[in-house]
Structure 1
């Protein structure tokens, strides 16, 4: 892995060492998605430079628990296993992994975006050219417990759901579509992880990736959905779902696709999550002193904070950051993804 050499040393200033007794949590929008099924696995096996750059960044950060977003899913998990092996060549090994079938690319047979056609990427349960495009992958140093998958929850069944409508007030795009429309554009998972003991302890990960709140029309379907995807975690913590809320300690990991202070979208949704007293916002910063996690400068809208690690309020924060160096290592970071890895060190 030639790209690993040089700029990403284990003691690189933007990748601090983790103290003993501390758990490092991270999320990273890796953009490991391709134009068709099976292509990602092929790229991993042939040593694709982008794949190796992603692996090098993960190896440098050395998180104990990592949620990757934007990773193509295959039913047998071959791509994730191959990726974990590449990461392990230069950094931590993740023997415990989870990649459930995402809603992205899951065909509906209906017109879900109101353009009068069916079978397009936007007509899937979540945007995707093929089933499994741009899914989630959870990697852990420690064993995973039995997960709860909320990804099949219908949008209209969520407490307080506000679904899009046509100008005449009729359901958008149709009543038929809303009857099968899932809230999760990719997935929402609840995954307990058994930490090393004694004593035996668990940390529950709430993992997700929401749709961008753009690429729609005046009905604001994506804007409404994106806000609802982030708002689902507060409904869970409130006990408003048919699923018991997680006992602390827990942490929300993933891509909200909402920035708290700028950009399109219903920013009140991420604002409410960041200010929830049951959570802590570590406010991670890159080398430049900003918390942005996505490089959308070309084209606009610019740099934005879209990815989050939000521990429960009972967890002690021992450090946090965004892997976005200004000089050393920048070329590798930019070669990997427009996303930036976000990490937080917590102490139980």
Structure 2
């Protein structure tokens, strides 16, 4: 039976300006990092600008990154990586909420911090910090579910900050309108030769960032809980088309994303362990790297001086047998320099039995 590779990679600030032209040193390095992995069948890339939201109606950044970088071998010993299709969901980043979320006066000028703070998710302009999912196999476009507009207040036992003494909080009116996902949560069915696999993708708020910690930390916790509930067929989720309910318990899935949370992290009340790693429907993979082991942090997926050391996850459902896994953070000095030039994160991959 054929094995399949699922991978997740947060490529720092993958902007339209960089990706729409060849020869960007950072993106050549990022593509090299992908090409040194076991060849991915499914790859989620975080922090890719959605240039269609920005009004760029020619080539989407997802297609440009594939054409300009991933398909081109980035070293003599490498081969390009190709995919049949991709999906880039709309995200909440940079979308004006019409509310004074930042509690510093309504920001109306794109590009300013005040504008970013008052969006449904912090960003200086629409489409910033979005994502793209690549697949070697067909995506069932009619079966895709997105939860971008799911209201935070509709999450049972939510942790919305309401204390007006805090730096950032939501008023009663704002709670009726504010969305939970920082970018989106998307369920993307992919038609593998052995049957459908649901790629459940997300990128929750960084809990300690943007000067909005009192909002971001509980939001990160609650979005992770939403994902854990969704893959265990909770009844409360509703998608952007109005369809209700979670993922059926007989469906195979893989959760992929930069979750901005590490096991044991107190700022998110260890949400990643409670709702995903200990989830009875999830195989708690623990990818590691040679460089991480040398530094005493084997499972680190990001630069050690910035935020959670383990932030990126590829978590298959229990129907899959995990063959191997890893973090693309090498000990070789030259390759390590490539990795750190590419991003402040390292790619994570998991190989599973196709079943």
Q: TM-score, normalised by structure 2?
A: 0.84
Distance 2:63 2:103 in 1: 38
Distance 1:320 1:304 in 2: 17
1:3 is aligned to none
Distance 1:284 1:159 in 2: 32
TM-superposed deviation, 1:162: 2.1
Aligned to 1:113, which of 79, 86, 102? 102
Distance 2:18 2:93 in 1: 16
TM-superposed deviation, 1:234: 2.0
2:77 is aligned to none
The answer as to 2:280 corresponding to 1:277 is yes
Distance 2:233 2:156 in 1: 11
Q: Please list every run of at least 4 consecutive aligned residues from structure 1 whose deviation after the TM superposition is greater than 6 angstroms.
A: 216-219
Alignment check: 8 A CA contact 1:71 1:136 kept: yes
Alignment check: 8 A CA contact 2:199 2:253 kept: yes
Q: 1:87 to 1:33 in 2, by over 3 A?
A: closer
Q: 1:121 to 1:40 in 2, by over 3 A?
A: farther
Distance 2:259 2:105 in 1: 29
TM-superposed deviation, 1:277: 1.6
Distance 1:238 1:161 in 2: 18
TM-superposed deviation, 1:219: 7.6
2:5 is aligned to 24
Alignment check: 8 A CA contact 1:59 1:88 kept: no
Aligned to 2:324, which of 314, 319, 327? 319
Distance 2:12 2:162 in 1: 32
Q: TM-score, normalised by structure 1?
A: 0.85
The answer as to 2:72 corresponding to 1:89 is yes
Distance 1:33 1:109 in 2: 27
Distance 1:50 1:98 in 2: 23
Counterpart of 1:295 in 2: which secondary structure?
coil
Distance 2:32 2:269 in 1: 33
How many positions carry a matched residue from both structures?
A: 317
Q: Once the two structures are superposed, what CA deviation does each residue of 1:31-55 show, in whole Å capped at 9, x if it has no partner?
A: 1334xxx42444xx14110011111
TM-superposed deviation, 1:258: 0.5
TM-superposed deviation, 1:60: 1.8
TM-superposed deviation, 1:28: 0.6
2:27 is aligned to 51
Aligned to 1:340, which of 340, 346, 353? 346
Alignment check: 8 A CA contact 1:296 1:338 kept: no
Alignment check: 8 A CA contact 2:233 2:246 kept: no
TM-superposed deviation, 1:112: 1.2
TM-superposed deviation, 1:203: 0.9
Matches within 5 A, 1:117-266: 117-119=106-108, 120-145=115-140, 146-167=143-164, 172-196=169-193, 200-215=194-209, 220-236=214-230, 237-240=232-235, 241=237, 242-246=244-248, 247-262=250-265, 265-266=267-268
1:74 is aligned to 51
1:102 is aligned to 91
The answer as to 2:42 corresponding to 1:65 is yes
Q: Which runs of 5+ in 2 are unaligned?
A: 74-79, 109-114, 238-243
